[in-house]
Structure 1
Amino acid sequence: MGRAGIQLLFAGTIFSSAFLLFLVQPLIAKQILPWFGGSAAVWSVCMVFFQAVLLAGYAYSDWVARHLRMRAQAVLHVGLLVASLAFLPIVVGAQWKPTGAEDPAWRILGLLLATIGLPYFLLSTTGPLVQSWVARTPWGTQVYRYFSLSNLASLLSLLSYPVLIEPFSTLRQQAHGWSWGYGAFVLLCAGTTLYMARRWPAEVVPPQPAGQAAAPDHPPRPADYLLWLALPALASWLLLAVTNHITQNVAAVPFLWVLPLSLYLLTFVLCFESDRWYRRGVFLPLAAAMLLLCAFGLQHSIGADVRTALPLYVSGLFVLCMFLHGETARLRPGPRYLTRFYLMLSLGGALGGVMVGLVAPHVLAAYYELGFGLMLTALAAAAVLRRRLWLRVGCVALAACCTFFLLRQIASDNIGVRSLQRNFYGALQVYDTKRDPPSDSTRQLAHGSVKHGSQFLDPARRRELTTYYGRTSGIGRAIAAAPDGPRRVGLIGLGAGTLAVYGRGGDVYRFYEINPQVFALADREFSFLRDSAARIERVPGDARLAMEREPVQGFDVLAVDAFSGDSVPVHLLTVEAMDAYLRHMRPDGVIAFHITNRFLALAPVIDRVAGARGLHAVLVHDLAEQSDWLHRTDWVLVARDPRALAREPIRSGATPIATQPGQRPWTDDFNNLLGALK
């Protein structure tokens, strides 16, 4: 085999492993989401598993490359590759479905380990291990270009899943397709391994390539290890912090998270492809400017206005990651220490993710991690530029400026704010808005840029309906059209508890809410629940899971109010979810879906799901012109009996739903959020 063929073999093995590694994460997580609920905790546990196994794979690669001869590596690795085929296809077994009595975190970790544990581990090992083999060849000094290639594969995998794979295949088809792809990877990787063991059983000294700076081959110093860890950790930190900021505080747009992640991966591709893309003289002043602008924006209106904030923070992330990854690439060691270098990079990326994803929600009351990340990045720049005193002093001064703006942000967030709380489900803010006359003053509940309820402060107006829940809205009409007598009403999503205003004596209003902090805020800061004449029942946790396990409730009306913003709980919009709702409905009951959304057209989705079960659906579009305190809303009302939708006042406000030809009903096995974009 010639040189070009050998390099193609290496490139194909590394590319396929990175592509499959990135692709399996949403695929496997979507399989289990309906079982464990659409909570952030499910995604967090999945990410902990993926990061832990990735680190284990990098540690394996480092140990094997340093302690085993090539032929011993081949025997071990090929044996593991063959054994991993026993895990195929990667379809989660029904025996892992939770019963409700066990700790879901441990069950998720167990099923992930049993379903994809060894394949994911081996995919994680491929990049660093194969690159350590490349270092044995005569062109080993070009080895870091393969790291660039692996990140390019990750980027392509990221973009291809929502665009090319998810819209056209079911989860089962995706799992089987991935499994076939993994089988091809096993053949390719085993072939590469055996070829290396035969052709280069011992290390050779590669010549210096033209046009590329040589990486030093001396043993790394402790300071090098620290920077290998810190710089990627800060890049990962900034990625997640910027994503949180633009999706929660700026614009709740579906798929907006793809943009920062794509730019993050692109900086890896550029910085490790060759030395031509990163120039310290260019990116250092750019990074300094972006640090100041981004920090300033956190406490100024430009940081919240989508027209300025989105380009500012997205471009800022790109520049800062170019600086952090570019400096990391400048510190790369010789091929002899390659696996240790990648292990530290992986550990740093995981550390940044843990700090923002797991630690910050517990210790920070709001999304302040971006401000901390900017400050730490300035200090990291001072550490990198340790040989130039004036630059170090400038970086420390820059860190001080970032700290000042962070403190200003924290102070401004607490002006007029009654409560600021955060957990895995996001940051909740309760604040008062004073108006003239004082009787128009309100108290509001917000989650980032999305408002979830409002109540008048004037005791005489506390029971007035506000925001999305007026009497001419879909839910208002559905409740008014319900049969006389005591009513049972189910509500998925509590917010401030506004819908409790509709409760009459003898009624039962049963609220399902996944975020425990929302219950506490609704009780402490708002009076809708305690002022209601109805009996209020509370069900904490994921609504679908609760409804699948609890006795039949016999609802006259069920309000499903959980689809605002960019985080749409898809598992509440599938045929299987509709089955769970129908189990609790009276024959003439009405299910009301709140679908007010600037970016997603969910009415045709619900219409298709309803049609799959022989149900009837109408759209109620309310302009809310009768009050300044009500918002325009869209509700879809679904019923078994068409006569339930012909009752007044539903009939006078209902319109048919314009269906989209060829749209498939969403199920747990198939759903396509991209296809629902307006």
Structure 2
Amino acid sequence: MTYPFHQQAPLAEPVKMTTFILSVFSSAFLLFQVQPIIARFILPWYGGSSSVWSACMLFFQLGLVVGYAYAHLIVTVFRDRRVLQIGIHFALLFLAVITLPITPDPSMKPGAEETLPLLGIIRLLVQTVGIPYVILAASGPLVQHWFSRVYPDRSPFRLYAVSNVGSLLALLSYPFLFEVYLTVSRQSMLWSLGFVVYALVLGVAGFVYLQAGAMVNTTNSESPDPISEKRDIAPGFTHYLRWILFSACGSILLLAVTNQICQDVAVVPFLWILPLALYLLSFIIAFDRARWYFRPIAVPALAVSVGLVIILLNRFFESVHWPMVGQIVIFCSALFFSCLVCHGEIVRIKPTSRFLTQFYLAISVGGALGGIFVNLVAPHLFDSYYELHIGILLLATLLTWQVLPQFISSCRRSQGQSGTETSAPSRLALAAVAGILWCGAMGFAVFGLHTHIQNDKEGVTFSSRGFFGVLKVKESRALTGQTYHTLIHGQIHHGMQFEDLGLSKIPTSYFARQSGIGSTFEFIPQRFDGNNEPLHVGVIGLGVGTLAAYARPGDRFRFYEINPQVIEVAHSHFTYLKDCQGEVVNVLGDGRISLEQELVQSSGSGNAFDILIIDAFSGDSIPMHLLTAEAFDLYLRHMKEDGVLAFHITNKHVDLSDPLRKHAGRYRWGSMRLGSNPENGIGSAAEWVIITRNYPLIDRFFQNDRIYHWKHEKPRDILWTDNFGNVFKVLK
């Protein structure tokens, strides 16, 4: 069979090589650029939870498996039928182009009836980026296969390093370039344009591949490959098993570390991207040159960094001893060296280029299995985040399995050498020391992780894990001897209540009577000087329902809560809602989306709240979508003219006062900072920002010396919107 392509003038060699490089680079860049774009777009739709990114990662990993499986199938079935192979692939590529742009339609927003957010996110991603993503995922192994057929004397694995460089640049450029200067919708349009450019570049690479096939055919070659592949030894079962398990281990650790960082800092693209960038960097180092992965350095570094993580876990993230930056550095160091070992060990047993596509398929399957474990299996097995523990122990086991045969073989060779040689006893002694150190490290890891789990469960009477994180109810005893229960989400307390009937109806913690919100209820005109006018209060974030303690007969309290487990716990383990003197309504769903829907249902009149309280934190992470200009505009449409907006901004790591002051300034509303100190074990140190045009209330705050000075005399120029937001500017 002959092709018409041999009649065309062949492209210059530098052009051919550049085409393959650009095809792999652009596909990888777009593949990893779309991940933060689409996740950033839908993050507010699912409550700003770190689980949104984890769910997106699961989809991306599954999409990678589908893409790699498709690439393996097409090059296996149509190995010698290049025209048909190219025709099928470019037909699918055209189908991907006509599905652009990738911007999700607002009608895809989840409603309150959405009971399975994980499945909802995956369904949304399939509809918006499914086909383009699979095509991009397939491009890496497919183009490397084309390259190996055009240049059989060159290693295609170097292109894998090029692919990872493109992925890394995509991730690093997003938080510092694209997110800063482009709206999310423009990011989506620019990405779609980039996909069209990629399709054109890939078309040239396909032409080069076909042209090379025509030239091979016209020279009457007996085989499409100039070198015989029959001499290649096929990988065995243990090879596939180790590729999959090491890849799964790296994926588990990536997601576990990302969840740990995001739940205690902020759910922002940079803190998604940093761990993923280190994950990819380990791929680049391992796959570019095998000798770059050097066990005598990588393994000890792994042991030290993981040891620090175990120590950090057993310190319970005390900010006095472990500042935020230090925590991030420790976790990221452990992740990098763990992934470097995982991927370095994979490269040590990689196959020849003949088995390239199934090699990449096995790696992608391992990554997907890790994502499935973290997102689907672990929440049913564990009532807390213990997949980090599993990942560490799995890596130690796999590394032992990989190294032990070589270690035993080396010891045997040393014993078999002549006794006159001094090097043999030295090697045996060194091996013995290494074995003792390794066993000691394994013992320390098991002991430290077990200790953390035991401490984590101490005093816990209830624990539940869901899409929005881990909830725990812990029983403790105050210095006065009275027993109280605390709701813990992540590492942060979200309300407490005493068992004693005389204290159980008293607002506590961040909501005590001397707190900013307590002062608001005390001095608002409807309550001041004996007034007893009914209040209509909205609260985003239920917690244990502490704020219901401020209700009087005739008041209406409307709580918005995205996590159904929080509502269940507030009713089953605490009594604030049960004891409430006013009317209580629980609205299930993201507070902002629920307010948007209620605004439409009320024909724009809103709820006419006297007080709207924003207290929706997961750990110390920032609910950025509840603090943007668009969110602020929505709140005001639900307020009375003299209403009060109250934001709870207590946080160990960031100061949220400046963005709120900027929002208040846009509408010429007054903004005040109210704080409180612990009161006899009932209250907690808390910081509130009150925004209002209720001047009698403001005067009473001043008269009673309840207002604290701002940390900055003038607010810094920080204005968050749905399209723009930079958490670094608010770091303490």
TM-score category by the smaller chain?
0.7 to 0.9
User: C-alpha separation between the residues in 2 aligned to 1:517 and 1:99?
Assistant: 17
User: C-alpha separation between the residues in 2 aligned to 1:31 and 1:436?
Assistant: 47
Pick one of 518, 524, 529 that aligns with 1:476. 518
User: C-alpha separation between the residues in 2 aligned to 1:563 and 1:289?
Assistant: 33
Superposition pairs of residues 136-147 of structure 1, within 5 angstroms: 136-138=149-151, 141-147=154-160
Matched, 1:559 2:613: yes
Q: Report the Cα offset of residue 72 of structure 1.
A: 2.3
Q: Report the Cα offset of residue 260 of structure 1.
A: 3.0
Q: Report the Cα offset of residue 633 of structure 1.
A: 3.1
User: C-alpha separation between the residues in 1 aligned to 2:517 and 2:379?
Assistant: 33
Distance 1:242 1:97, change over 3 A: closer
Paired residues, what number? 666
With 194-203 and 14-23 compared, the bigger mean Cα shift is at: 194-203
User: C-alpha separation between the residues in 2 aligned to 1:289 and 1:266?
Assistant: 20
Instruction: Report the 3-state secondary structure (helix = DSSP H, G, I; strand = E; otherwise coil) of the residue aligned with 1:460.
Output: coil
Pick one of 467, 473, 482 that aligns with 1:430. 473
User: C-alpha separation between the residues in 2 aligned to 1:317 and 1:672?
Assistant: 25
Pick one of 498, 502, 508 that aligns with 1:466. 508
Superposition pairs of residues 194-273 of structure 1, within 5 angstroms: 194-201=207-214, 203-205=224-226, 217-248=232-263, 255-273=270-288
Q: Look up the equivalent residue of 1:407 and give its one-letter code.
A: H
Pick one of 578, 583, 599 that aligns with 2:632. 578
Instruction: Report the 3-state secondary structure (helix = DSSP H, G, I; strand = E; otherwise coil) of the residue aligned with 1:453.
Output: strand
User: C-alpha separation between the residues in 2 aligned to 1:607 and 1:537?
Assistant: 30
Q: Look up the equivalent residue of 1:479 and give its one-letter code.
A: F
Superposition pairs of residues 100-119 of structure 1, within 5 angstroms: 108-119=121-132
User: C-alpha separation between the residues in 2 aligned to 1:446 and 1:98?
Assistant: 26
User: C-alpha separation between the residues in 2 aligned to 1:107 and 1:240?
Assistant: 19
Asked if the contact 2:607–2:638 (Cα under 8 Å) also holds between the matched residues in 1, the reply is: yes
Matched, 1:636 2:689: yes
Q: Deviations over 1:262-307 (max 9, x none)?
A: 3222111100010221123443455456556655664566999526
Q: Report the Cα offset of residue 598 of structure 1.
A: 3.6
Asked if the contact 2:658–2:716 (Cα under 8 Å) also holds between the matched residues in 1, the reply is: no
Matched, 1:65 2:78: no
Q: Look up the equivalent residue of 2:700 and give its one-letter code.
A: E
Q: Report the Cα offset of residue 232 of structure 1.
A: 0.6
Instruction: Report the 3-state secondary structure (helix = DSSP H, G, I; strand = E; otherwise coil) of the residue aligned with 1:518.
Output: helix
User: C-alpha separation between the residues in 2 aligned to 1:662 and 1:411?
Assistant: 46
User: C-alpha separation between the residues in 2 aligned to 1:13 and 1:466?
Assistant: 60
Task: Tell me which residue corresponds to 1:127.
Answer: 140
Instruction: Report the 3-state secondary structure (helix = DSSP H, G, I; strand = E; otherwise coil) of the residue aligned with 2:342.
Output: helix
Task: Tell me which residue corresponds to 1:497.
Answer: 545
Asked if the contact 2:49–2:468 (Cα under 8 Å) also holds between the matched residues in 1, the reply is: yes
**Which structure 1 residue ranges, 5 or more long, are not aligned?**
208-213
Asked if the contact 1:220–1:333 (Cα under 8 Å) also holds between the matched residues in 2, the reply is: yes
Q: Report the Cα offset of residue 659 of structure 1.
A: 5.8
Q: Look up the equivalent residue of 2:460 and give its one-letter code.
A: V
Pick one of 657, 662, 666 that aligns with 1:603. 657
Q: Look up the equivalent residue of 1:587 and give its one-letter code.
A: E
Q: Deviations over 1:107-130 (max 9, x none)?
A: 654543343222222111111111
User: C-alpha separation between the residues in 2 aligned to 1:54 and 1:645?
Assistant: 57
Instruction: Report the 3-state secondary structure (helix = DSSP H, G, I; strand = E; otherwise coil) of the residue aligned with 2:543.
Output: coil
Task: Tell me which residue corresponds to 1:540.
Answer: 588
User: C-alpha separation between the residues in 1 aligned to 2:614 and 2:400?
Assistant: 52
Matched, 1:181 2:194: yes
Asked if the contact 1:617–1:636 (Cα under 8 Å) also holds between the matched residues in 2, the reply is: no
Task: Tell me which residue corresponds to 2:372.
Answer: 354
Distance 1:344 1:173, change over 3 A: same
User: C-alpha separation between the residues in 1 aligned to 2:586 and 2:480?
Assistant: 36
Asked if the contact 1:508–1:534 (Cα under 8 Å) also holds between the matched residues in 2, the reply is: yes
Q: Report the Cα offset of residue 64 of structure 1.
A: 1.3
Matched, 1:509 2:557: yes
User: C-alpha separation between the residues in 2 aligned to 1:162 and 1:362?
Assistant: 33
Instruction: Report the 3-state secondary structure (helix = DSSP H, G, I; strand = E; otherwise coil) of the residue aligned with 1:438.
Output: coil
Instruction: Report the 3-state secondary structure (helix = DSSP H, G, I; strand = E; otherwise coil) of the residue aligned with 2:463.
Output: strand
Distance 1:633 1:137, change over 3 A: same
Asked if the contact 1:473–1:620 (Cα under 8 Å) also holds between the matched residues in 2, the reply is: no
**Which structure 2 residue ranges, 5 or more long, are not aligned?**
1-10, 217-223, 412-434
Q: Deviations over 1:141-172 (max 9, x none)?
A: 43212212222222222222112111222112
Q: Report the Cα offset of residue 493 of structure 1.
A: 0.8
Task: Tell me which residue corresponds to 1:549.
Answer: 597
Superposition pairs of residues 272-287 of structure 1, within 5 angstroms: 272-287=287-302
Q: Report the Cα offset of residue 333 of structure 1.
A: 0.8
Asked if the contact 1:36–1:104 (Cα under 8 Å) also holds between the matched residues in 2, the reply is: no
Matched, 1:171 2:181: no
Instruction: Report the 3-state secondary structure (helix = DSSP H, G, I; strand = E; otherwise coil) of the residue aligned with 1:465.
Output: coil
Task: Tell me which residue corresponds to 2:490.
Answer: 448
Distance 1:121 1:420, change over 3 A: same
Task: Tell me which residue corresponds to 1:338.
Answer: 356
With 464-473 and 352-361 compared, the bigger mean Cα shift is at: 464-473
Q: Report the Cα offset of residue 185 of structure 1.
A: 1.1
Q: Report the Cα offset of residue 230 of structure 1.
A: 0.6
Q: Look up the equivalent residue of 1:412 and give its one-letter code.
A: N
Sequence identity percentage: 38
Task: Tell me which residue corresponds to 1:306.
Answer: 322
With 168-177 and 385-394 compared, the bigger mean Cα shift is at: 385-394
Asked if the contact 1:554–1:585 (Cα under 8 Å) also holds between the matched residues in 2, the reply is: yes
Instruction: Report the 3-state secondary structure (helix = DSSP H, G, I; strand = E; otherwise coil) of the residue aligned with 1:477.
Output: helix
User: C-alpha separation between the residues in 2 aligned to 1:650 and 1:18?
Assistant: 58
TM-align CA RMSD: 3.4
User: C-alpha separation between the residues in 2 aligned to 1:287 and 1:41?
Assistant: 27
The structure having more radius of gyration, on CA atoms, is: 2
Task: Tell me which residue corresponds to 1:55.
Answer: 65
Asked if the contact 1:589–1:644 (Cα under 8 Å) also holds between the matched residues in 2, the reply is: no
User: C-alpha separation between the residues in 2 aligned to 1:2 and 1:168?
Assistant: 38
Q: Report the Cα offset of residue 470 of structure 1.
A: 3.3
Q: Report the Cα offset of residue 74 of structure 1.
A: 2.1
Q: Look up the equivalent residue of 2:473 and give its one-letter code.
A: V
